[in-house]
Amino acid sequence: MDIRTPAFQRLLEIWLDEDLGRGDLSANALQAEAKSAYWVAKEAGVFCGGIFAEAIFKRLDNEVNVKHLIKDGEKFDQNQKLLEIHGPGKALVAGERIALNIAMHLSGVATTTHLLASELKGSGVHLADTRKTTPGLRMLEKYAVKCGGGINHRLGLDDAAMLKENHIAWAENIDQAVLAIKESAPWPARIIVEAETAEQAEQAIKAGADGILLDEMSPALLHSLVPRLRALARTRVEITGANTVVIEASGVSPVHLKDYAKTGVDLISTSAPITKSSWIDLSMRFL
Q: Segment 235-264, which members bind its own copies (CB under 8 A)?
A: 237, 241-244, 246
Q: Which positions from 172 through 191 interact with its own copies, judged by CB under 8 A?
A: 177, 180-181, 183-190
Question: Is 10 annotated in the active site?
Answer: no
**Torsion angle defined by CA atoms of residues 92, 99, 112 and 117, in that order, rounded to the nearest 10 degrees:** -100
- The least distance separating its own copies from the CB of residue 261, rounded to whole angstroms, comes to 17
What is the arrangement of strands in the sheet containing 246-250, beginning at the earlier edge strand? 126-128, 267-269, 246-250, 211-215, 191-195, 161-163
- Active-site residue, selected from the candidate residues 72, 194, 210, 266: 194
Identified binder of its own copies from the candidate list 69, 70, 155, 198, rule CB under 8 A: 155
Show Cβ contacts of residue 220 under 8 Å, excluding neighbours closer than 6 positions. none
Closest CA to 32 of 63, 2, 55, 9: 63
146 is catalytic: no
Report, in Å, the least distance between residue 136 CB and its own copies.
4
Q: Which of 71, 97, 228, 258 is catalytic?
A: 97
| Contact indicator for 191, 246 with CB cutoff of 8 Å | no
Q: C-beta of 218: minimal distance to its own copies in Å?
A: 19
Neighbouring-strand partners of residue 34: 88
Active site residue 215: yes
Q: Does 163 bind its own copies (CB under 8 A)?
A: yes
Bridging pattern class, strands 65-68 and 81-88: antiparallel
CA atoms within a 13 Å half-sphere pointing along the CA-CB vector of 67 = 9
Build a one-symbol-per-residue string for 110-139: x at contacts with its own copies by CB under 8 A, - elsewhere.
Answer: ----------------x-x--xxxxxxxxx
Site string for its own copies, 190-209 (x = CB under 8 A): x-x-----------------
Q: Which of residues 79-108 bind its own copies (CB under 8 A)?
A: 89, 91-94, 97-98, 100-102, 104-105, 108
The answer to whether residue 46 forms part of the interface with its own copies (CB under 8 A) is no
Active site residues: 97, 132, 164, 194, 215
